[in-house]
């Protein structure tokens, strides 16, 4: 601390640190440690490429769909990366959603290798729906018009599906990159958020955060047809909504091998929206999406896939599912729905302490990629969480677990010299985990 010339830590924060020695645990790991689970299920890429017996057949071929709009320069780079695949796709469809730039002229050079479809502008979701209907091959690979797929991407993901006939889709990891427009220099970055996890947790993990994207996703056409078309009322989240439906209905198989590079754009992008505006729009669409999911999904959907879906859930399974669903809603800033689920969970098995999966789900509730500032900015959110303490003993355990998870934000704020922010989180932690918070909640309820 002294070496970094940070401001002194107030006594109040020191008291919080003393009350929660767990704060010092996993110091070097960071919040992302919460998302990592060792997985023997993911296939080793070296084994795939070194296999002496190929499992692909002549019938397991792919239609590549590249939807595009006014990105002629990037589109050429993307298309060249698709044409350079070690396993050639069966067909490539470039779907031009009414571009006003020189996309038609640039695509004319590829007329012998690419099926170029030009249409009136109707949005990405409608464009994809039309192309899926036109696809002539059993696998579909949607590639964004500004990303770069690596040479073995299609081969790797096709191998995965061939080795796992029960899988509806396969997926791979990615890197991010940006190019300096003045110097032409390219900077490669890691993806920032990737989950290595057992296959039966993919659906739950996807609901927590989207970490698989179209260029890293190979889907059976029958799977797309089974779940229905892309939704047209979520223009910024249609890919996320589709992935949720696919993952709910079909198992998937993944690899940690990097299969594509995702282009990062500085400043303005298509539509003239800056990063903060895009983030706000994404959050609002995800709220809409997850309100629907909360309403329409069964509790069993929020348990690992290996849980039998047809039977009546036991009380322990109900409680785990409610906590799992509540934590997903919390990550989407739907704290009212989250606390409703937590309240129902607190009524079940009051004599049984929270299980490790329940504790882990609660810890993840506050680690949204958008942060959790609403807990300190909106008194109503903190009050909703506090109110769970009257549901003894499980409600007390739930609030205490959430409070411990928030300690990461205290430490992070102190490390960055943001003492005021650390104090805000620290005070919330104390009210969530002590009788002070309980007395305040009971006082509010009686007013």
What does the DSSP 8-state code read for residue 308? -
Is 441 or 173 the better-scoring residue by pLDDT?
173
Report pLDDT digits (tens) over 386-438.
999 999 999 999 999 999 999 999 999 999 999 999 999 999 999 998 765 44
Read off the DSSP letter of residue 288. Answer: H
- Residue-wise pLDDT tens digits, 119-174: 999 999 999 999 999 999 999 999 999 999 999 999 999 999 999 999 999 999 99
Q: 444: left (phi > 0), else alpha (psi -120 to 50), else beta?
A: alpha
Q: Is the pLDDT of residue 2 over 60?
A: no
| pLDDT for the residue 35 | 29
Write down all domains in the chain, each with its CATH number in brackets: 2-35+308-446 (no CATH), 45-284 (3.90.550.10)
Q: What whole-number distance in Å separates Cα of residue 177 and Cα of residue 134?
A: 32
Supply the pLDDT for residue 13.
Answer: 64
Q: How far is CA 136 from CA 63, 68, 93, 97, 169, in A?
A: 7, 20, 10, 20, 17
Question: What six digits make up the tokens of 140?
Answer: 């579909």
pLDDT tens string 8-60 = 666 666 666 666 654 444 433 333 333 233 333 344 444 444 443 354 546 79
In 3D, which of 215, 196, 216, 210 has the Cα closest to residue 243?
Answer: 210
Residue 17 pLDDT: 61
Please write the tens of the pLDDT for every residue from 64-107.
Answer: 999 999 999 999 999 999 999 999 999 999 999 999 999 999 99
Least confident of 56-60, 113-117, 367-371, 400-404: 56-60
β-bridge pairing 139-142 and 169-179: unpaired
* Residue 445: band (very low, low, confident or very high) from pLDDT cuts 50, 70, 90: very low
Phi, psi at 217, each rounded to 5°: -135, 120
pLDDT band at 346 (very low <50, low <70, confident <90, very high): very high
Q: What is the mean pLDDT of the chain?
A: 86
pLDDT of residue 265: 79
Strands 139-142 and 62-68, how do they pair?
A: parallel
Does residue 51 contact residue 60 with C-beta atoms inside 8 Å? no
Q: DSSP of 140-208, one letter per residue?
A: EEE--TT-EE-TTHHHHHHHHHHH-TT-SEEEEEEEEEEE-TTT--EEEEE-S------GGGHHHHHHH
Kindly state the tokens that stand for 437: 């918070």
Confidence of residue 276 (pLDDT cuts 50, 70, 90): confident
Q: Retrieve residue 304's tokens.
A: 């690992």
Q: Are 328 and 363 in contact (CB under 8 A)?
A: no
Helices (H) and strands (E) in the chain, counts: 18, 9
Phi-psi region of 260 (alpha: psi -120 to 50; beta: other; left: phi over 0): beta
Question: What is the model's pLDDT at position 56?
Answer: 53
Q: How many CB atoms lie within 10 A of CB 121?
A: 13
Give the pLDDT confidence of 184-229 residue by residue, as tens digits. Answer: 888 888 887 788 888 899 999 999 999 999 999 999 999 999 999 9
Mean pLDDT computed over 237-260:
97
| C-alpha to C-alpha distances, 399 to 323, 403, 446, nearest whole angstrom | 12, 6, 21
Q: Is 155 helix (H, G, I), strand (E, B) or coil?
A: helix
């Amino acid at each position: 601390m002294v070496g970094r010339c940070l401001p002194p830590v107030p006594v109040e924060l020191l008291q919080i640190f003393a009350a929660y020695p767990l704060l010092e645990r996993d110091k070097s790991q960071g919040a992302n440690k919460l998302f990592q689970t060792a997985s023997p299920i993911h296939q080793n890429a070296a084994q795939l490429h070194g296999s002496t017996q190929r499992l692909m057949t002549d019938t397991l071929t792919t239609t590549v769909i590249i939807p595009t709009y006014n990105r002629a320069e990037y589109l050429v780079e993307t298309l060249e990366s698709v044409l350079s695949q070690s396993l050639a796709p069966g067909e490539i469809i470039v779907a031009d959603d009414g571009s006003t730039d020189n996309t038609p002229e640039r695509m004319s050079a590829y007329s012998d290798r690419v099926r170029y479809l030009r249409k009136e502008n109707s949005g990405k979701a409608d464009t994809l729906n039309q192309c899926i209907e036109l696809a002539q091959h059993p696998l579909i690979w949607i590639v964004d018009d500004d990303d770069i797929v690596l040479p073995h991407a299609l081969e790797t993901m096709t191998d995965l599906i061939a080795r796992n006939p029960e899988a509806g889709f396969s997926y791979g990891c990615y890197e991010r990159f940006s190019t300096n427009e003045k110097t032409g220099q390219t900077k490669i970055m890691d993806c920032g958020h990737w989950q290595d996890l057992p296959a039966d947790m993919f659906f739950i993990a996807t609901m927590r955060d989207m970490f698989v994207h179209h260029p890293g996703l190979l889907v059976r056409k029958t799977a797309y047809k089974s779940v229905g078309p892309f939704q047209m009322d979520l223009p910024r989240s249609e890919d996320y909504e589709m992935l949720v439906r696919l993952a709910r209905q079909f198992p998937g198989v993944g690899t940690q091998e990097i299969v594509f590079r995702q282009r990062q754009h500085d400043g303005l992008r298509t539509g003239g929206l800056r990063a903060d505006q895009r983030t706000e729009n994404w959050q609002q669409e995800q709220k809409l999406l997850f309100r629907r999911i909360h309403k329409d999904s069964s509790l069993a959907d929020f348990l690992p896939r290996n849980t039998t879906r047809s039977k009546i859930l036991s009380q322990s399974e109900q409680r785990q599912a409610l906590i799992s669903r509540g934590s997903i809603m919390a990550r989407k800033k739907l704290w009212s729905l989250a606390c409703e689920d937590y309240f129902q969970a607190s009524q079940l098995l009051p004599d049984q302490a929270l299980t490790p999966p329940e504790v882990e789900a609660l810890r993840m509730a506050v680690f949204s990629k958008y942060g959790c500032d609403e807990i300190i900015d909106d008194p109503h959110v903190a009050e909703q969480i506090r109110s769970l303490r009257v549901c003894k003993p499980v409600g007390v355990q739930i609030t205490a677990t959430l409070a411990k998870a928030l300690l990461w934000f205290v430490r992070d704020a102190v490390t960055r010299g943001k003492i005021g922010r650390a104090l805000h989180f620290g005070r919330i932690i104390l009210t969530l985990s002590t009788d002070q918070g309980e007395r305040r909640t009971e006082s509010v309820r009686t007013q």
